[in-house]
Amino acid sequence: MTDGDFGLLSPVSASSAVTALTGDRAVIAAILDVEAAWTAVLEDAGLAPQGSAAVVAEAADAGHFDLALIAQRAQGGGNPVIPLLGELRARVKALDITGGGAAKAVHTSLTSQDVLDSALMLLASRTVSAVLADVRATTTALATLAEQHADTLCVGRSLTQHALPYTFGLKAAQWFQGVAAASRRLESLELPVQFGGAGGTLASGAKLTAGSGTTAFALADALAAKLALTSAPAPWHTNRLSVTSLGDGLAALIDSFGKIAADLLFLSRPEVAELGEPLAAGRGVSSAMPQKQNPVLSVLVRSAALQAPGLASQLHLAAATFNDERPDGAWHSEWPALRQLLALAAGAAGHVRELTEGLRVFPDAMRRNLGISGPLLLSEGVAAAVAPLLGEDGKQKLQAVVDETLAVPAAEQADTYRKLLREAVPSDKLSDAELEALLDPASYLGEAREISRRILAAYSDDTSTKGATRG
């Protein structure tokens, strides 16, 4: 066994699935895929001998390359493309049936930044596709929760305090909206191929295509098509909007995950106990306290949410300091930040999917916590309905009732508020039955159900079922 980075200190993304998408082997594979696709483009255009693409594709098997050696040698040229090319050409020569033409075609008219930028866009495309698959399952689960709990009462909290009656269905719908909106933004991003040559002028490409009936721009478009990337109207070596937009999109999605995790971390506290993470053998254990069931999935997702903004900021810092026509260290600082964002998004997306698909909901605890503040939660609605019955100083009288109620211990506030309110409002103006109706939390939910329905309807395509929009 060889030493390597297995993610011991990055548990949110420490999985074979994430490594397969964003690890060193995946990076090397993406670089090799760009080189192989480029040879195929040249062959299609008659600029490389027939059979070159097949030879390069066979040689470009990431499993045959020594990652540690390439990483070490990358220090000599400042990027991994240079040492990888040396090994790729050697493998092509050993396999070449074109009389050396295939080896000559490898990397022709490209520069290292063309290849690495395109490879990172390819890596991102593959990772984002996997992330969006998890997200679709997550939005489906959240839509189901929103529908199932449309009338499940809970307490809405504002600045950490009990605020108004709420529904868990609306909370799930709001989680849904955050994830669905962020995923749409991420899905809409263009991930362009890079092709500019040594100085971004396509000088070598123009020379290569002279008299051939094609152009360097047509070759770049063909490369984009083979890699399933977006065609770029021009080289973008120092214009990094594609990178920063990708970073922002990933960070926004992780933000939406972080909101869910933050709520779950609070709502799963024993003294709150409104929600629980899905149970799994061996998960959530403590090294010292056997009675604990730690909300580990939420902890890991929150850790990703705390890291993502800094990584996105690093991409902007790099973009703002790209100098000349080909940059120095700013470009190099992008790579680890972008890859870590991709890994965090992939890891967190899987955890959030598991969280939402297996979330345990405890309506009785929600109703119990709603009862802590009791009818005080209805004071806003009571004031609107009752103040006009009490004359010009009606609002002041009702505020005095609230103030007096808050002066007694919390356990006595519900009964005190009801008693003082009954004393303040003559029964001929408000009967006991009418008063109790005002103090029913289900009577003051506003448009909670309709808000949920509108959210689910607006993003109905973001779930794997159409039933999520039923009203």
For residue 348, which of 303, 281, 408 has the smallest C-alpha distance?
303
CB 125 within 8 A of CB 229: yes
Tell me which residue of 276, 463, 258, 273 sits closest to 359, measured CA to CA. 276
| Dihedral (Cα; 346, 350, 353, 355), 10-degree rounding | -120
Q: How many residues does the chain have?
A: 471
Q: What are the structure tokens assigned to 255, written together?
A: 């933000």
Q: Can you tell me the distance from the alpha carbon of 251 to that of 305, in angstroms, rounded to the nearest whole number?
A: 8
Catalytic residue among 157, 326, 367, 422: 326
Which of 432, 468, 456, 368 minimizes the C-alpha distance to 176? 456
Cα–Cα distance for residue pair 112/44, rounded to 1 Å: 22
CA dihedral 172, 178, 181, 187 (to 10 degrees): -100
Catalytic residue among 129, 212, 286, 443: 286
Candidates 354, 471, 441, 397; CA nearest to 15 is 354
Residue 452 among the catalytic residues: no
Q: Is 286 marked active-site?
A: yes
State the alpha helices, DSSP H only, in 268-289.
Answer: none
Cβ-based neighbours of 212, under 8 Å, separated by 6 or more: 45, 46, 47
Q: To which residue do tokens 């520069």 refer?
A: 111
User: What is the number of alpha carbons within 13 Å of residue 431 lying toward its C-beta?
Assistant: 3
Cα–Cα distance list, 279 to 10, 276, 350, 357, 359 (Å): 22, 8, 16, 12, 9
Catalytic residues: 286, 326
